[in-house]
Amino acid sequence: MRPIQWSGGKLRLLDQTALPQQEIYLEISDYREAVHAIKTLQVRGAPAIGIAAGYGIMLGAQSIKTSSMKAFNKELEQILNDFAASRPTAVNLFWTINRMRRALSTAESQEEAVNALEKEARLIHRQQSAAMAKLSRIGSSLIGRECTVLTHCNTGQLATGVEYGTALGVIKAAAEQGKKISVYADETRPLLQGARLTTWELQQLKIPVTLITDGMAGHFISRGKIACVIVGADRIAANGDTANKIGTYSVAVLARENGIPFYVAAPLSSIDVSIDSGARIPIEERGREEVLEFNGRRIAPLKVRVANPAFDITPHRYITAIVTEKGIVRPPYKRNLKSTFQEVR
Ligand code: MRU
């Protein structure tokens, strides 16, 4: 499976809104379609959003028709803003935008700028692929020889756009090492990333999976069915507070209450050291119809008041360890995440 492809000057995306019923690839040659794909979750998951945005920005730069560099830079800035406004929580999007901005800083012509942007977008894709493979291997050491783990949302290849996922990457790597692993997957209301995507990916990997509704997690954890919880992240603040799919916080509290480890797996591109705590992470609020409907069918009175935050914050004190491509980071996160970053620079 290659959910994000770049070939012949076009971006090919596996449309995640159509899965698991249909495997449809979108052929994108206009940057506005890439912005739309991010907004509507046709491409989703923090690292995948970052990679797709890189190619989308490149498509935008290519479409600018002007002979002056000043006008080019102005139009490109607007394109970058369009991407920045597509989804607010996953920091990978902003990480890509910053990298793309830096990549064209020395360009003296539009052609040079477009070439630099394409090179950077491809580099981001390659580097993220290596990062996910590495963190998956590193994280697999946390998984027992025979165990059942619980996960929330979708954190596999679909969410990263590369060969390994984050939390699901760790699970995949553990299975490849011959560990007997099985997974409880939360369905992940309202958009059902767990039910639609995680079960689909795990079936392809031939890893046993049991689908449960979000409200069932406590039941199974309290009955000793789960050895540990492992999830991904959309943005990790400098103190380790973690934004991830709505419902993650509840699972973290359940893990603590029942004395099992709660792990977060994420590349460094998901860590935002410029933000001191989770209180400053912007939480996306999505449309009311996502809650009012289930698979396109209305399930509540139309006039009911609805709230639909797409993410929540798990305070760092609930997190046993954060798995990155640079190693397993343990508390105190403020100090240890900082030194992980310093090693990289
Ligand atoms: O709204 P989504 O589907 O983009 O949310 C995705 C998640 O919350 C994932 O858990 C997160 O991006 C980490 S996946 C690598």
Total number of domains in the chain: 2
Q: In terms of Cα–Cα distance, which of 259, 266, 238, 54 is closest to 153?
A: 266
Q: Which residues does a 6 A CB cutoff place in the pocket of ligand 1? A: 41, 44-47, 90, 153, 155, 159-160, 165-166, 193, 232-234, 244-245, 310
Residues 90 and 154 in one domain: no
Q: How many helices (H) and strands (E) would you count in the chain?
A: 13, 16
Q: Kindly give the distance from the C-alpha atom of residue 166 to the centroid of ligand 1, in angstroms, as a whole number.
A: 10
pLDDT tens, position by position, for the chain (345 residues)?
999 999 999 999 999 999 999 999 999 999 999 999 999 999 999 999 999 999 999 999 999 998 899 999 999 999 999 999 999 999 999 999 999 999 999 999 999 999 999 999 999 999 999 999 999 999 999 999 999 999 999 999 999 999 999 999 999 999 999 999 999 999 999 999 999 999 999 999 999 999 999 999 999 999 999 999 999 999 999 999 999 999 999 999 999 999 999 999 999 999 999 999 999 999 999 999 999 998 789 999 989 999 999 999 999 999 999 999 999 999 999 999 999 987 664
Query: CA-CA distance, 23 to 184, in Å (whole number)?
Result: 24
CATH assignment of the domain containing 287:
3.40.50.10470
CATH assignment of the domain containing 16:
1.20.120.420
Residues 77 and 198 in one domain: no
Nearest residue (by CA) to ligand 1, atom 15, is 155
pTM (2 d.p.): 0.97
- Using the 3D structure, point to which of 103, 133, 163 is the last residue of a domain: 133
Ligand 1 atom closest to residue 48's alpha carbon, by position in its atom list: 15
Residues 108 and 172 in one domain: no
- Using the 3D structure, point to which of 104, 133, 162 is the last residue of a domain: 133
Boundaries of domain holding 9? 4-133
Query: CA-CA distance, 54 to 279, in Å (whole number)?
Result: 28
Active-site residue list: 234
Following DSSP, what letter does each residue of 61-119 receive, concatenated?
A: HHH---S-HHHHHHHHHHHHHHHHTT-SS-HHHHHHHHHHHHHTTT--SHHHHHHHHHH
Q: In terms of Cα–Cα distance, which of 340, 135, 130, 331 is closest to 233?
A: 135
Residues 228 and 319 in one domain: yes
